[in-house]
Structure 1
């Protein structure tokens, strides 16, 4: 069975189980599940109940869709995402985005928790993603490899302007109004395949490339979203500072520390998303 047929089967199942049609899709990063606390009239569907869907294996990922109303919009929230380091192909990682498109989603908001590479960043800062660097994609590790299905999109989609300029401007306006202007930044996101964290030497290279944050998700979803013609807003929560100095002296993060910071800032990210949703049209 092809990717389109699998996605269509999943979306058909969801339409039969859920009576809400979403306009906006939201992907929760690790520990950012509090986003769903601001969703009203919730309808929850476990990934394990959806035909053809992967299963979350990472701590901090809930493993379900949450449908409802947030910021005056119909939303579909992924409480848990999938990663190639779990053993999934990039096409499997992309599958939920294609399903959301078939459900009616027009705008995608992706979130992640990340290491701060930019030396001016502080733990708890939120970076609005203006662009990304994805070496895996450059060497053929991306969800569009293989035969192209025109029902999803064109063979050679452009990634210029992948992160919508208008959505980024709205996010900044909302952040300023919420008193978050000092902690909301712009920057370039770097995708690291994982599951190992970056080394100090890697951090220095990424800093030289002009990257602001680094993490293990997001770009495959964004590539897929742009292939589908969706508008994209990306938010990266800085939960640790990428190691600097020599390898013998540097101290790296643990997943438990990452989740702890993410949990403490999750509601702030959620309220920013809610404010953006109230401001935009879909």
Structure 2
């Protein structure tokens, strides 16, 4: 296994493995597909290569049900570009460290990607967003207490979630709403008090992924779009107890619709 003590070297080693496996010099766009979003890869075009995450330096098999265990190269039918589909996502709560969380994003940049789409399943604070509602991320609150950036590297996060890419998404679906996403550390769900706090701070969505990857993406020079699937109302807003089974069920129910939406958006990027 590659030593992650040098994140740049680890990313380049992984990128070399992925590009070589696909038989291409570089990829163009990367997608991290969270709960409910996995079907989009099949709609983009032909899968020209696939490799187990365990065979790529620095990657791990996913610890969460509903997440993929492979890295795929898909030739986008509409453009001929190559998409790198990162089915193996490391969450901060897995305890592997923030470098492991950011490794996929850094690998995408090292593999030649210029843009990135991050997706997730999350809790919603807006009662108008029923389970199964996709919401564009306009900004975020990183409540993990850490950062993927090390040393005196002061990275500007203004317009982190690309206005250009969000505008393209709204061309595809003008009904898409936008919201601020707050990442908690997890793996426990947020308490009702924490959800109220997040709302006071300006959050519309709460979850356990995405912000650390987004920060790493900006440092790596990737243009970024984030889109969440509301799988449930957040604690204290939803009257019933939260469960991961509920997240999986909501993702499965919404999957055909949101996968088509995401594939159509990516084809225009």
Q: TM-score, normalised by structure 1?
A: 0.87
1:266 to 251, 255, 258: 255
How far 1:211 moved relative to its partner?
Answer: 1.1
Question: In the aligned structure 1, how far is the partner of 2:31 from the partner of 2:232?
Answer: 23
Quickly say closer, same or farther: Cα 1:13–1:279, change in 2 above 3 A: closer
CA contact (8 A) 2:125 2:199 kept: yes
Q: Is 1:16 aligned with 2:16? A: no
1:63 corresponding residue in structure 2:
69
**Contact 1:132-1:219 at 8 Å conserved across structures:** yes
Aligned match of 1:240: 232
Per-residue Cα deviation, 1:176-201 (whole angstroms, up to 9, x for no partner): 3xxxx2xx211100001110111111
Q: 1:53: how far off?
A: 2.0
Task: Please tell me whether the aligned partners of residues 44 and 263 of structure 2 are also in contact (alpha carbons under 8 angstroms).
Answer: no
Alignment counterpart, residue 205 of structure 2, candidates 199, 207, 213: 213
Are the equivalent residues in 1 in contact too, given 2:30–2:117 (CA < 8 A)?
yes
* Structure 1 position 76, deviation (Å): 0.6
Distance between the aligned counterparts of 1:88 and 1:75, measured in 2?
Answer: 26
For residues 216-227 of structure 1, what are the structure 2 equivalents within 5 Å?
A: 216-227=208-219
**Residues 176-191 of structure 1 aligned to structure 2 (within 5 Å):** 176=174, 181=175, 184-191=176-183
The CA distance in 1 between the partners of 2:50 and 2:133, in whole Å, is 30
Q: How far does residue 40 in structure 1 lie from its aligned partner after superposition?
A: 2.4
- Does residue 34 in structure 1 map to residue 39 in structure 2? yes
Q: Distance in 1 between matches of 2:222 and 2:92?
A: 22
Which residue is 2:8 aligned to? 4
- The number of equivalent residue pairs is 261
Q: Distance in 2 between matches of 1:115 and 1:274?
A: 23
The alpha carbon displacement at 1:241 in A equals 0.4
**Following superposition, which runs of at least 4 residues in structure 1 exceed 4 angstroms of deviation?**
none
CA 1:80–1:265: 2 relative to 1, 3 Å: farther
**Does the aligned pair in 1 maintain the 2:143–2:185 contact within 8 Å?**
no
State the shift of 1:235 in Å.
0.3
Contact 2:142 2:211 in 1 (8 A): yes
Give the aligned partner of residue 198 of structure 1: 190
| CA drift at 1:132 | 0.2
* Contact preservation (8 Å) 1:67, 1:75: yes
CA RMSD of aligned residues (A): 1.7
1:278 corresponds to which residue?
Answer: 267
Question: Which position in structure 2 is the counterpart of 1:174?
Answer: 172
Q: Provide the C-alpha distance between the structure 2 equivalents of 1:67 and 1:223, rounded to a whole number of angstroms.
A: 24
Match of residue 257 from structure 1:
246
Deviates more, 1:211-220 or 1:197-206: 197-206
Q: Aligned residue for 2:60?
A: 54
| C-alpha displacement of 1:125 | 1.2
The one of 95, 108, 112 aligned to 2:103: 95
- Work out whether residues 29 and 80 of structure 1, in 8 Å CA contact, stay in contact via their aligned partners in 2: no
CA shift at 1:251, angstroms?
A: 2.1
Q: Which runs of 5+ in 1 are unaligned?
A: 149-154
Give the drift of 1:52. Answer: 2.5
Distance across 2 between alignment mates of 1:88 and 1:49: 18
Cα offset, 1:252, TM superposition: 2.4
State the 1:39 CA deviation: 3.5
